[in-house]
Amino acid sequence: MKISVNDQCPCHSGKKYKKCCQPYHKGVIPANATLLMRSRYSAFVLRNARYIISTTHPDNTDFTNDIKQWEEDIFGFCDNINFDGLKILEFIDGDSEAYVQFDEILSGAHFIEKSRFLKEEGRWLYESGVFE
Ligand SMILES: [Zn+2]
């Protein structure tokens, strides 16, 4: 999916892409785990596999050094899902560990997920997520 910088951000924030997740996709470090979570969600919508990979913690079960295969897996996921909605339910911040609970609508179905993020060298990374 291609969007213009003035389009609504795919993370469903109601803001323009250029005022929301685009800066993170261009290299700005998200200040907290919620911003990272939103920018990963919009990266899935935009098929930005590089961003997903670069913000995944090495302890994540999807983590692999086979970048080519990992990208293919991400594209496969993105192409088969409609990202219909995102609402942050709870954000538990910390110095090096944070949790974000959110309600996402994927292809019309609601999922409540709680994601765990770890901070490594000043950058938040997605470590794991559980569906509730
Ligand atoms: Zn956004």
Does the CA dihedral 40-68-128-114 come out positive or negative? positive
pLDDT at 131: 93
Compute the distance between CA of residue 39 and CA of residue 118 in angstroms, rounded to an integer.
16
Compute the distance between CA of residue 42 and CA of residue 115 in angstroms, rounded to an integer.
16
Give the pLDDT band (50/70/90) at residue 101: very high
Residues near ion ligand 1 (CB < 5 Å) are: 9, 11, 13, 20-21, 38, 42
What is the model's pTM?
Answer: 0.96
Q: How far away, in angstroms, is 8 Cα from ligand 1 center? A: 8
Compute the distance between CA of residue 32 and CA of residue 28 in angstroms, rounded to an integer.
12
Across the range 20-45, mean pLDDT stands at 98
Please check whether residue 5 is in contact with residue 13, taking contact to mean a CB–CB distance below 8 angstroms: no
Q: How far away, in angstroms, is 14 Cα from ligand 1 center? A: 8
Across the range 105-116, mean pLDDT stands at 96
Q: What is the mean pLDDT of the chain?
A: 96
Detail the DSSP E strand segments found in the chain. Answer: 83-92, 97-106, 109-120, 123-131
Q: How far away, in angstroms, is 50 Cα from ligand 1 center? A: 17
pLDDT at 2: 81
Q: How far away, in angstroms, is 72 Cα from ligand 1 center? A: 24
Taken in order of first residue, the domains within the chain and their CATH numbers are 17-131 (3.10.450.50)
Give the pLDDT band (50/70/90) at residue 132: confident
pLDDT digits (tens, 9 = 90+) for 46-71: 999 999 999 999 999 999 999 999 99
The amino acid that residue 72 corresponds to is E
Q: How far away, in angstroms, is 95 Cα from ligand 1 center? A: 23
Compute the distance between CA of residue 102 and CA of residue 113 in angstroms, rounded to an integer.
6
